[in-house]
Amino acid sequence: MVAPIPHDEKVPILEVTDFQVELITATGVVRAVDGVDLVIRRGETVTIIGESGSGKSTTAMGVLQLLPADLAVYSGSVKVGGVDLLTDRGAADRIRGRMVSLIPQDPMTALSPVHTIGRQLGEAVKLAGYDGEAAQQRSLELLEGVHIRQPAEQLRKYPHQLSGGMLQRVLIAIALAGHPVLLVADEPTSALDVTVQAGILDLLLELQERTGVGILMITHDLGVARLVSDRIHVMKDGRFVETGNAEAVVARPQQDYTQRLLAAVPELGPWDDRPRPETALTGGGTR
C-alpha cells in the first residue's frame, strides 16, 4: 500500500516566492506568471483557480520546470523541501517523478496508446528504484491503492480499453510510484463526466488523509476548488488577486474579481435526497 510520507514538519513541502515566468514568443515576451507566492505544507491542498489565460497552468508547469527551456524564463524562488529548483539546475530532474509528481489533465491522451498499462506503470515503478518481482508487486499495490479492481488483468490492457475514469486512476497510480510528497494536479477532472469526477476527487482526498501528501490543484471549477482545498488562490492575468482559506474565499470574497466570478457561477440550490416511490418513467414530457 502507499505508505505515509515521512516529513520534517518545519520545512514546507513547497514554498514559492516571487515566482515569475516569462515566455518568449515570436511576437514578444509574455509575462504569464507575474510574481506569485504560495506555501504548501504536509497534508494540505492548495488550489489555484482562474479562467483561461490567467496563468494557472503555466504556474504549475513552471513549478515543475516542465516548460521548454528555450521558451520560458523563470525568476523568483521555488523551494521543494527546502531545495530551490531555480538555483539548483539539476534538482528539478532529480525530484520530478519522485518527490513531486504531475497528474496531467486529459487521461485519454496522457498515456502512450501503443504500450500496455503495465508497461507504463512499470516504467514509473522502476524509476523509483524497484526491480523485477518487487516492481511487479509494487505495480499491483499501486493499482489497488487507487481502487482499481482486478489489477493484474488491467496491467495487460491498453489505454483504449479503459474508460476515462480508470485511466485517470492509472495516471494517479503512476504519479504515486515514486513516493511523492507533493502532487501537482492540472485540471485532473476537466475531461471527465461529473460522476467520474467525484470518484477521482474522493480518491485524492483519501490519499491525502492516509499519507499526508501535499496537493497543488489547478482548476477553473469553483465546485472542485471548494471541495478539495485548504486554501484557494484566485488568479488573473498572472497574479493572485485573492488568497485565503477555502471557506472564506467562497463564502466571503473580498475582491471585486472574485465576487464577480462567484456571482457568475449558476447555483443548483439545496435538494431532497430521499428515495421516492418509483413511478413508471415520469411520462408526459412537457405540459
Partner 1 sequence: MTTTMTPGPATAPERKERPSAVTPAQLQSAGARRRQRWAQVKLRVGAVCALLVVVPVVLAGVLPLPGPNEQDLGARLLPPLTEGHLFGTDQLGRDLLSRVLYGGRTSLMIGVLAILVSGLIGIALGAAAGFFGGWIDAVVSRLLEAQLSLPLLLMLLLVVALFGPSIPVITGVIAIAQWPEVARLTRSLVLVEREKPYVAAAQVLGLHRLSILSRHVIPNIVRAATLVVLLLLAQAVLLESALSYLGAGPERPFATWGRIIADGQDYITTAWWLVTLPGLFIVLLVVGVNLVGDGLRDRTRRPRRRPTQTKEA
Partner 2 sequence: MTTAPLLSVEDLTVDFGAYRAVDGVSFTVERGHTLAVVGESGCGKSTIARALVRLLTPTSGRIVLDGTDIARLPERRLRPLRSKVQMVFQDPYGSLDPHLTAEAIVAEPMRDRSRRDRHAEAARLMDLVGLPSSALDRRPAEFSGGQRQRIGIARALATSPDLLVCDEATSALDVSVQAQVLKLLADIQAERGLTYLFISHNLAVVRQISEQIVVMRSGRIVETGGTEEVLHAPRQEYTRALRRAALDPATMRGLKPRDVVRNLQAATAA
Identified binder of partner 1 from the candidate list 26, 114, 194, 263, rule CB under 8 A: 26
Interacting positions 222-241 with partner 1 (CB under 8 A): 230-231, 239-241
Q: Which does 10 bind (CB under 5 to 8 A by kind): partner 2, partner 1, none?
A: none
| DSSP calls for the chain | -PPPPP--TTS-SEEEEEEEEEEEETTEEEEEEEEEEEEE-TT-EEEEEE-TTSSHHHHHHHHTT-S-TTTEEEEEEEEETTEETTTSTTHHHHHBTTTEEEE-S-HHHHS-TTS-HHHHHHHHHHHTT--HHHHHHHHHHHHHHTT-SSHHHHHTS-GGGS-HHHHHHHHHHHHHTT--SEEEEESTTTTS-HHHHHHHHHHHHHHHHHH--EEEEEES-HHHHHHH-SEEEEEETTEEEEEEEHHHHHHS--SHHHHHHHHHSPP------------S-------
Is there binding between residue 243 and partner 1 (CB under 8 A)?
A: yes
Identified binder of partner 1 from the candidate list 3, 10, 68, 113, rule CB under 8 A: 68
Taking the least distance from each CB to partner 1, the nearer of 179 and 220 is 220
Is there binding between residue 282 and partner 2 (CB under 8 A)?
A: yes
Is beta strand 45-50 parallel, antiparallel or unpaired with respect to 214-219?
A: parallel
Q: Which does 38 bind (CB under 5 to 8 A by kind): partner 2, partner 1, none?
A: partner 1
Identified binder of partner 2 from the candidate list 130, 199, 210, 239, rule CB under 8 A: 199
Is there binding between residue 244 and partner 1 (CB under 8 A)?
A: yes
Taking the least distance from each CB to partner 1, the nearer of 39 and 108 is 39
Q: Min. distance of Cβ 114 from partner 2 in angstroms?
A: 22
Is there binding between residue 136 and partner 1 (CB under 8 A)?
A: no
Q: Which does 195 bind (CB under 5 to 8 A by kind): partner 2, partner 1, none?
A: partner 2
Identified binder of partner 1 from the candidate list 32, 61, 249, 261, rule CB under 8 A: 249
What nine digits make up the cell of 162?
A: 479503459
Q: How many chain residues bind partner 1 (CB under 8 A)?
A: 38
What nine digits make up the cell of 37?
A: 507566492
Is there binding between residue 104 and partner 2 (CB under 8 A)?
A: no
Applying CB under 8 A, the residues found at the interface with partner 1 are 15, 17-18, 20, 22, 24-27, 29, 31, 34-35, 37-39, 68, 70-71, 73-75, 230-231, 239-245, 248-249, 252-255, 258
